[in-house]
């Protein structure tokens, strides 16, 4: 499946004087996870609303699963599952009835509904508490229930607005595992708004970084990291002679090499395999104690992009 | 469509059973209507009030207004509790949601 699940062209939306989304053009291949990152108020939630046809764009266009988000939103919603900004649970109803209601909404036959509710709640470890009104549940428990509701009808496309907000680290990891499986096994496409950079790095094939309604960067986590700075290699050991340094500098993948006492720092051109460099060092008589390969993290990329934007707004050079 | 309406009704009934405050607004509306049409106007216009066709027409509107206000309350409630957007993001049409709420409230008010 190489088709496109979501495609937007200059998608824009303003609220009065606020330009919540400004000329967004992205493409999300079917069967992949697209991560949308950005500071508060960047326009992430607005984008999900536009894609589901809950809001109309003031300019531009979005095609989701081949349907136009304005004229054919019914078709989009029919095949999508959504966990929006608010969990959307009926607090007075029990957890079981919340799922039962949405099972009916999705026209799932009664027998299948029962099985699915049991399966989902058991998977979350919440089956025992199914009869309690949701208002008694903790925030993280509610978030899990809302996630189960979004998955109930096995949608082809999932919109998730900060799904791990409020989850403890192990529950969050579990949800990521589950999502990964869904994408791998069932080929589900996921549009994920998140503030969790590790989560984006772990799950997403493509990431878009948005600020003040404008997309400031787009690419795979690896591409984004490479954009922010080159990887480097730190070697600790003995025998860093001038000959060793010169030999390293002759290598095409090495930008620069310098040593200080027992530490050697090699700046690399891109993420290359470092094993040949290590054997080169060993062949030249270096006693290698430790090798650390480092790369700027996605967090550094994110911060630099977001701050860069901030500065460029102030400086006019 | 009928199925969708029934689904909404299923949920509305359960929410109402668990907390009847949704109807309270409706009853207050009804009391005000009775006070105005049944007490205030007759007192002002005397016995004529009971036999004019206008009166009958007025009374015919009462249940409609009442149902309307309860349905409006129900929507406002969903918006307040942030459940409406998720419901709108489902496969249900706006009409099914509206009719579901409307049909469910009507017999309750009629009782
Ligand atoms: N219904 C609305 N009316 C007016 N302004 C709105 C509305 N919805 C969003 N906005 C504005 O649009 C901008 C983008 O909001 P949005 O909710 O999309 O941000 P976000 O990226 O989801 O932020 P967060 O990370 O805090 O959830 C904000 O300035 C917000 O105030
Ligand atoms: Mg948001």
**Secondary structure (DSSP) of A109-141:** -HHHHHHHHHHHHHHTT-GGGTTSBGGGS-HHH
Total-model pTM = 0.78
CA dist B6 to B25, B97, B100, Å?
24, 10, 6
* CATH of residue A237: 3.30.70.1560
Q: Please indicate, yes or no, if residue A299 is contained in any of the structural domains.
A: no
Q: Please indicate, yes or no, if residue A91 is contained in any of the structural domains.
A: yes
Task: Give me the domain span that covers residue A254.
Answer: 230-294
To test the contact with chain A by mutation, choose from B89, B94, B96, B97 the residue with the greatest count of A C-beta atoms within 10 A, namely B89
For A60-103, the pLDDT digits (tens) are 999 999 999 999 999 999 999 999 999 999 998 999 999 999 99
pLDDT computed for residue B106 by the predictor: 62
Residue of B nearest to A74 (CA): B91
Report which ligand 1 atom has the smallest distance to the Cα of A195.
25
pLDDT computed for residue A59 by the predictor: 96
Same domain, yes or no: A242 and A120: no
Q: Dihedral, CA atoms, A195, A199, A205, A207, nearest 10 degrees?
A: 10
For A151-177, the pLDDT digits (tens) are 999 999 999 999 998 899 999 998 999
Same domain, yes or no: A259 and A210: no
Residues in chain B with CB shorter than 8 Å from the CB of A149 are 86
The Cα of A29 is separated from the nearest Cα of chain B by a number of Å equal to: 22
* CATH of residue A220: 3.40.50.300
Mean pLDDT of chain A: 90
A88 lies within 8 A of chain B by CB: yes
Residues in Cβ contact with A251 at an 8 Å cutoff, skipping those fewer than 6 apart: A277, A280
- Dist. CA A185 → ligand 1 center (Å): 34
Which residue in A59, A15, A10, A2 sits closest to A41, CA to CA?
A: A15
For B13-68, the pLDDT digits (tens) are 888 777 655 455 556 666 777 777 677 777 777 666 666 777 777 777 777 777 77
Is residue A225 over pLDDT 90? no
Q: CB B10 to CB A80 under 8 A?
A: no
Total of domains in chain A: 2
Q: CB A89 to CB B83 under 8 A?
A: yes
Q: CB B90 to CB A101 under 8 A?
A: no
Same domain, yes or no: A82 and A150: yes
A102 lies within 8 A of chain B by CB: yes
Rg of chain A on CA atoms, in Å:
24
Pick from A226, A252, A273: which residue ends a domain? Answer: A226
Q: CB B82 to CB A87 under 8 A?
A: yes
Residue of A nearest to B16 (CA): A92
CA distance A36 to A204: 9
Which residue in A73, A80, A34, A23 sits closest to A50, CA to CA?
A: A73
Burial of A270 (C-beta count, 10 Å sphere; 0-12/13-18/19+):
exposed
Q: Please indicate, yes or no, if residue A302 is contained in any of the structural domains.
A: no
Contact by Cβ (8 Å): A12, A57: yes
CA distance A173 to A180: 10
Residues in contact with ligand 1 (CB, 6 Å cut-off) = A 15, 18, 20, 38, 40-46
Same domain, yes or no: A94 and A221: yes
Is residue A213 over pLDDT 50? yes
Contact by Cβ (8 Å): A34, A28: yes
Same domain, yes or no: A158 and A258: no
């Amino acid at each position: 499946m190489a088709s496109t699940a979501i495609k937007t062209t200059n998608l824009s939306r303003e609220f009065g004087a606020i330009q919540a989304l400004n000329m967004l053009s992205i493409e999300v291949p079917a069967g992949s996870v697209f991560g949308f990152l950005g500071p508060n108020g960047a326009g992430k939630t607005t984008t999900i609303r536009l894609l589901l046809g809950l809001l109309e764009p003031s300019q531009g266009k979005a095609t989701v699963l081949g349907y136009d988000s304005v004229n054919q939103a019914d078709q989009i919603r029919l095949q999508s599952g959504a966990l929006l900004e608010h969990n959307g649970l009926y607090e007075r109803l029990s957890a079981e009835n919340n799922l039962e209601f949405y099972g009916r909404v999705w026209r799932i036959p009664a027998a299948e509904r029962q099985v699915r509710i049991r399966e989902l709640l058991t998977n979350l470890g919440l089956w025992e508490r199914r009869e309690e009104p949701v208002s008694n549940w903790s925030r993280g428990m509610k978030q899990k229930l809302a996630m189960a509701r979004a998955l109930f009808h096995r949608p082809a496309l999932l919109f998730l607005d900060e799904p791990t907000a409020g989850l403890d680290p192990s529950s969050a990891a579990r949800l990521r595992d589950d999502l990964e499986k869904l994408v791998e096994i069932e080929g589900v496409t996921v549009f994920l708004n998140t503030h969790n950079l590790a989560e984006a790095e772990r799950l997403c094939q493509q990431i878009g970084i948005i600020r003040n309604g404008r997309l400031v960067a787009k690419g795979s986590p690896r591409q984004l990291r490479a954009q922010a700075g080159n990887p480097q290699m730190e070697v600790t050991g003995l025998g860093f002679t001038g000959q060793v340094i010169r030999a390293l500098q002759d290598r095409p993948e090495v930008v620069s090499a310098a040593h200080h006492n027992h530490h050697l720092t090699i700046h690399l051109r891109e993420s290359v395999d470092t094993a040949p460099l290590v054997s080169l060092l060993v062949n030249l008589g270096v006693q290698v104690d430790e090798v650390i390969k480092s790369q700027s993290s996605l967090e550094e990329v994110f911060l630099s992009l977001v701050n860069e934007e901030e500065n460029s707004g102030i400086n006019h050079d | 469509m009928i199925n969708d309406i029934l689904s909404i009704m299923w949920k509305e009934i359960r929410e109402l059973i668990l907390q009847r405050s949704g109807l309270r607004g409706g009853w207050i509306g009804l009391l005000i209507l009775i006070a105005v049409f049944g007490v205030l106007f007759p007192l002002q216009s005397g016995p004529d009030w009971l036999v004019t066709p206008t009166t009958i027409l007025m009374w015919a509107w009462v249940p409609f207004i009442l149902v309307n206000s309860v349905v409006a309350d129900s929507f406002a409630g969903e918006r307040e509790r942030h459940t409406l957007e998720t419901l709108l993001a489902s496969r249900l049409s706006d009409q099914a949601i509206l009719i579901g709420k409307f049909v469910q409230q009507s017999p309750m008010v009629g009782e």
